[in-house]
Every structure is written in structure tokens, then in C-alpha cells.
Amino acid sequence: MKTFTLGGIHPPDEKRTAGSAIAPLPLPGQVAIPLSQHIGMPATPLVAKGDRVKAGQLIGGAAGFISANVHSSVSGVVLDVKAVVDASGYARPAVVIRVEGDEWDESVKQRESPDHYLSAFSREEMLASIQAAGVVGMGGATFPARVKLSPPAGSRPEILIVNGAECEPFLTADHRLMIERSRELLIGTRFLMKALGVEQAIIGIENNKPDAIAIMREAVTKHTLGIEVCPLKVKYPQGGEKQLIQATTGRRVPPGALPIAAGVVVHNVGTVYAAYEAITIHKPLVERVVTVTGKSLERPGNYLCRVGAPVSHLIEAAGGLPGDTGKVVSGGPMMGKALASTDVVVTKGTSGVLVIPAAEALRNPSRDCIRCAKCVRVCPMGLEPYLLMTLGEHRQTGEMERGRVMDCIECGSCSFTCPAQRPLLDVIRLGKSRVGQAIKSRK
């Protein structure tokens, strides 16, 4: 069975919500929809205090090429447009809406069958629909999908890879999507293939999801057309773009380059589903599947949640915040962000909410490096985390750059593995930002 070759770890699976069907979440009383849910320029607000909005209505316009539209996820009244603290801990502009009823914008409805769009829609029309719907990468990077689907001049995409690896422990949102929406995902994949102009697509799924592999395979054999399901041997970080490309195709993306340099474009299954809805029912990206999980949660599950709903709303649905809670993470345990408050809202990139008991929330004290080389062994990019950390502590920015610190994908395998419990990734991340600044100032 295929997997990537360099490094990698085997964290505990903890997919306790793998069997929970996607359940729609009741509407919250109020939402705050950030205008910056994507990489790039924040959207420009198109509504003001007091405006009435409908679900699916455009409330923030993309500001430039690398930006994305933002739509209202609910119907109601705009209470304010103000800065709201997001998962990163920074206050960023958001549209606060009081929810009234659930009235959708008239444009959001199915007019033709999906097959109609496959045959009748041109590449440009598909891209326009995806762009209009504000679809961004839903695996966590939140890169505007339209940009990824428009390869720069001179590059030629050959393969579309659909990322169903979901290698983060605990998370099952993509898993459930593949089980419950396999037909839609397949059509969505064909949309994206057409939009990219490629004949081949590979759906990469880790083999801890045999049911998803079987269902997607069954769907593929019914329709075929150059789409292949590729089971992958479980190893973290399989869902890392470069790792997934190597695992499924054997191609290696050169350092510092984008996947298109290897003729590949990768999209998460969540993104594919959003593109499907954007094209067939003109539905903007205003809701997504979020795994709400944790060892002490009463009702962990996969919830279909409107963008802008506070995390506390999700946790209430899952049985409320357990008394032993120490940490609430947006995303998975390996790469997710710890939240300072459960008032932070769900965005297009929120794949999960993980509640960690206090007993497991604190790190053990860091000790001297014993030079066991385990961090070197697990690094999927072939770096020397122990050395980068030492260089980082001594602010040797130039040496860090020569140590290829910018290759680091921040997967956290080094910190996870270190027997001396050293905060390797923390220091490397700081060093990365210093090196990044140094590179910028040279230009």
C-alpha cells in the first residue's frame, strides 16, 4: 500500500466520531461572519448596521485576485460590522448578524441536473461559479479555490488529487462526507477536472477509513472517467500537500515550489463538495461539516454547521463543555489552534473542535536534548529539528535559512516525538517568521 517515504509518525487514531452521521446543527441566535476566512486580502463589507440579509447573500466582496467572497450563512439583521477575535487570537473585521428565521437567497436553488452542468458549463463558467460562491480550501489552508484552479501561464496541470487522507487524529468530517456524499463528491471531482482541464484524478484516502474507500470505489466504478481511489497506509502527515502528492503519484514537488510545478493540483474533499454545491445549486460556502470531539464530551459528533456560529454553540450541541476541560482546539490535535475563548466562530476552514481535558492539556517540562535523532527521523521534509531549535534559540537566522527552515510544513511530528519533550516546533516557527522577514527585506 502506498504512503510517503520520508519520516512521519503514528499518533493515536482517536476517530471516535467515525460512525456518527452528519447532523445539522440548530441555528444559533447570533453569528459573526469574519471577512477574512481565507488567505489573502480580507473581503470588503457590502452591508451595514441595520441591513436585512438572507442566507446565501453576498455580504463581503473579494478584494483582489487572492481573496474570496463572503456570504451570510443566516437570515436576519446586521447588528454591526466590527473587529471580532478569531482562532488566531487577533481581532479581525466581521459581520455580526442576529438570526431571524431561515430565509435563503432566491438564487440558491437547483435549476438543472448535475449532468447538465457537466456537459453544458464551460470551464470559465465553472470557475466563475466557484469564485462567486467564495469557495476556499477547506482542509485548513483556506486558499481561494479559484486561484488554485487557475494555474499560472506556462504550467500544465495533469492530475487532480482529491485529499481524503484526513490524517489528523480525532477528525472525521471528511470521512463522513465521503461516506454520505460520495455521489456528489464524484460529480464535484469531475467539475474540478473540467475546470482544470485534466483527464486524471486520484482520490487519496487513508486505510483507517475502509468504509469510505469502499463507498468511493463503488461510486467511481459506476462512473469511472479517469478517477481512481488510492488507499494509503496510515501515516501522519499524509494529508500534507507534498506528502500526499508523493504518496499517490510518486511525484515530488521541489522545495519552495507549488504542486503545479509537478503537474498536480490538490483539493480537499470538503472543497470538492463546496464546488459541487456552488455549481449545481448556486449555493455559496456558508456551512460546513465540523467534527466536535474530545475524550470527555458527552455527544461527540459530526455537525453541519453554519459559518459564523460560535464554537460554544457547537460544544452545547455536543453536550456542553465538560468540567475537566483544559483546552479547546480549533482543528485537529497536531496542527489545530488552541482557542482563548469558545466565543470564537466557525469559519470556512474549521474542520473540527477538539476539547482536551486539563490533565492532557499541559506539556511536560522541556529537558536538554539527548541527541537521539528521533526528530530527524520523523521529519517528513528531511530537516534537522534539533539543530533548527538550537539555532533558533540563539537567533542564528542565517544558519536557520541554510538549514532549510522554510521547508518546514509545521506538522509537529518533531515535537510529538521528542523524548525530552522539547518545544521544537514552537522555536522553529518563530525562526521561520524571522527568516521570512529576512528574505522579504532582501527583495
Partner 1 sequence: MNPMNKLIVSPSPHIHGGDSIEKNMRGVLVALLPALLCSVIFFGWGALYVTIAAVASAVLFEHVIQRYLFKQPTAIEDGSAVVTGVLLAFNLPATIPLWLAALGSLVAIGVGKMSFGGLGNNIFNPALVGRVFLLISFPVQMTTWPVPNGFETTDAVTGPTPLALVKQALRAQKPFVEVLPAGDGGHSLLDLGTGSGVGGSLGEISAFALLLGFAYLLVRRIITWRVPVSIFLSIALFSAILHWINPSYAGPLFHLLSGGVMLGAIFMATDYATSPMSYRGMWIYGAGIGTLTIVIRNFGAYPEGVSFAILIMNAFTPLINKYCKPKRFA
Build a one-symbol-per-residue string for 223-262: x at contacts with partner 1 by CB under 8 A, - elsewhere: -------------------x---x-----xxxx-------
Dmax (CA) of the chain: 64
Residue 358 in the binding site for partner 1 (CB under 8 A): yes
Q: Least distance to partner 1 from the beta carbon of 399, Å?
A: 11
CB 271 within 8 A of CB 145: yes
Q: Which of 30, 324, 366, 406 binds partner 1 (CB under 8 A)?
A: 324
CB 236 within 8 A of CB 10: yes
CB 333 within 8 A of CB 291: no
Q: Least distance to partner 1 from the beta carbon of 331, Å?
A: 8
Build a one-symbol-per-residue string for 380-419: x at contacts with partner 1 by CB under 8 A, - elsewhere: xxxxx-xx----------------x--x--x-x--xxxxx
79-108: contacts with partner 1 (CB under 8 A): 89
Build a one-symbol-per-residue string for 325-354: x at contacts with partner 1 by CB under 8 A, - elsewhere: xxxxx-x-xxxxxxxxxx-----------x
Q: Which of 119, 153, 224, 364 binds partner 1 (CB under 8 A)?
A: 364
CB 54 within 8 A of CB 11: no
The position carrying cell 518563530 is: 430
Cross-strand bridge partners of residue 23 = 303
Nine cell digits for residue 28: 444559533
- Decide whether 18 or 339 has the Cβ nearer to partner 1: 339
Question: Cis peptide leading into 322, omega within 30 of 0?
Answer: no
Q: Cα–Cα distance between 103 and 363 in angstroms, integer? A: 46
φ and ψ at residue 312, rounded to 5 degrees: -60, -30
| Span interacting with partner 1, options 66-74, 195-203, 299-307, 357-365, rule CB under 8 A | 357-365
Q: Which of 100, 103, 316, 426 binds partner 1 (CB under 8 A)?
A: 426
142-201: contacts with partner 1 (CB under 8 A): 169
Residue 363 in the binding site for partner 1 (CB under 8 A): yes
Residue 134 in the binding site for partner 1 (CB under 8 A): no
Residue 141 in the binding site for partner 1 (CB under 8 A): no
- Burial profile 93-113: b = 16 or more Cβ within 10 angstroms, e = fewer: bbbbbebeeeebbeebeeeee
